[in-house]
Amino acid sequence: DAGVTQSPTHLIKTRGQQVTLRCSPKSGHDTVSWYQQALGQGPQFIFQYYEEEERQRGNFPDRFSGHQFPNYSSELNVNALLLGDSALYLCASSPFGQGNSYEQYFGPGTRLTVT
């Protein structure tokens, strides 16, 4: 059973460019959450997708947007990249709303460097 997968592993972009990161959730999971982890910090919640809609959002600007596909995979898009967007971007998946608390399963992350 494949866990959460993310691509690419590493990415280098120039300030002002746009980037798309991809995530495939764990089998059986239909909810995807994205987190940003700056160096030396804990992960920070960006947003969550379920049924192809953004359901919750953290304190991130509109430059950060996402999409979820019918197969539950997801993309994170960041426009007009800033040097401060350099971070590890983590995707987490979980089943939605089954009345119990399920732990979120994290992927290995995509390391984005903005120069």
Partner 1 sequence: DAKTTQPTSMDCAEGRAANLPCNHSTISGNEYVYWYRQIHSQGPQYIIHGLKNNETNEMASLIITEDRKSSTLILPHATLRDTAVYYCIVRVYSGNTPLVFGKGTRLSVIA
Q: How far is the CB of 16 from partner 1 (least distance, A)?
A: 28
For residue 28, state whether it binds partner 1 (rule: CB under 8 A): no
Q: For the CB of residue 109, give the shortest distance to partner 1 in the complex, in Å.
A: 6
Give the CA angle between residues 105, 50, 61 to the nearest 5°.
Answer: 90
d(CA 102, CA 95): 7
**Does 59 sit near partner 1 (CB under 8 A)?**
no
Subset of 72-101 contacting partner 1 (CB under 8 A): 90, 92, 94-98, 100-101
Among 13, 45, 60, 73, binds partner 1 (CB under 8 A): 45
Q: Tell me the H-state helices in the chain.
A: none
> Beta strand pairing status for 64-68 and 74-78?
antiparallel
In angstroms, the CA 61 to CA 8 distance is 23
**Positions in the binding site for partner 1 (CB under 8 A):** 4, 31, 33, 35, 40-45, 48, 50, 55-56, 58, 90, 92, 94-98, 100-109
